Amino acid sequence: MITLYAITDHPTPPVPALGDMRVVASGDLAAVCGPVLKGEVTAEALWQHERLVEALMDDRDVLPVRYGTCLPDDAAAARTLQDNHAEFAASLETVRGAVELAVRVFAAGNATAAAQPPSEPTTGTAYLRARARVAADESGAGAIVHEPLARTARAATIARVNRPGELMRAAYLVDRDATGAFSERVREIQEQNPQLRITCTGPWPPYSFAAR
Amino acid sequence: MTTIAEQDVALIDLLDRLLGGGVVIAGDITLAAADVDLVYVGLRALIASVATAKEKGVLPEMGSAL
């Protein structure tokens, strides 16, 4: 069994001497593969995987492959490239020259508690009011944070929020040379909106834009 | 209620990307959906090293002054 790290163009620059990566090519596409790493899925294992993909991203465009993707052998990897050629080639064009930045918005300080529906609402009305407040906060965060950032990005996706106090969770596909301008925009929005707490991480390989 | 710690943000963003994003090649994911949930549950409590979080952060101090 082999594991897949990323799909990229072929020919591709030599893979970095990190881990144990090698290239399986098929036509104008290549899969960067390695041995399957055994053991528990720990934070360190995930960061190690991420470091390898980021090292690849340093000097080429990549479609990161979902963690844990395994194939029987190199021939299967080549076949996967052939079978999905149109999709992979189009996705590579989408992300060419760009990286992903992750943005989350939380309600700051006391507003966080206020934004949460009570865990055991005393009445149905109280519950509905609390839900309505959360919905208003979410759409407000979208208008305040997402719209200006989306204008700075090549593409954007908004994911369903999934943590307490979280108002927005989004990913932006940003030109490599525009990440500074993007983070400056985040900083401005944060300064103008102390009621929100905005986090921005990256640059990441374009995980949220790799699949069509 | 606790809010998400700065150093957790990078780890959670990492989990969302590696386990929920990327190219999906049908039928060949070794982590089943149930396993992915377990990884989330297991790692959510884990604090990523501050060094790693800072390294990932485009805006490393963002939010900490609020």
Task: Say if the Cβ atoms of B17 and A100 lie within 8 Å.
Answer: yes
Evaluate if residue A211 carries a pLDDT over 60: yes
Among residues 193-212 of chain A, which lie with CB inside 8 Å of chain B?
194, 197-205, 207-208, 210-211
Boundary residue ending a domain (A95, A111, A133): A95
Task: Evaluate if residue A42 carries a pLDDT over 50.
Answer: yes
Select from A201, A145, A59, A3 the least CA-distant residue to B16: A201
A17: containing domain? 2-95
Number of domains in chain B: 1
CB within 8 A of A119, min separation 6: which ones?
Answer: none
Q: Is the ipTM of this complex over 0.95?
A: no
Q: Of A12-21, A101-110, B52-61, give the range with the top mean pLDDT.
A: A12-21
Number of structural domains (chain A) is 2
pLDDT of residue B6: 62
Distance from CA of A86 to the nearest CA of B (A): 13
Domain span holding position B21 = 6-56
- pLDDT higher than threshold 90 for residue A92: yes
What pLDDT was estimated at residue A19?
Answer: 81
Among candidate residues A95, A127, A152, the one where a domain is terminated: A95
Q: Looking at residue A165, what is its pLDDT?
A: 81
Q: Is residue B1 part of a domain?
A: no
For B61, which residue in chain A has the nearest alpha carbon? A199
List, for residues B15-59, the tens digit of each pLDDT value.
999 998 999 987 666 676 677 777 777 776 554 333 344 445 544
The percentage of residues in chain A with a pLDDT greater than 70, rounded to a whole number, is 94
pTM above 0.90, yes or no: no
For residue A178 the two structure tokens come to: 């525009």
- CA-closest candidate to residue A106, choices B64, B16, B32, B41: B64
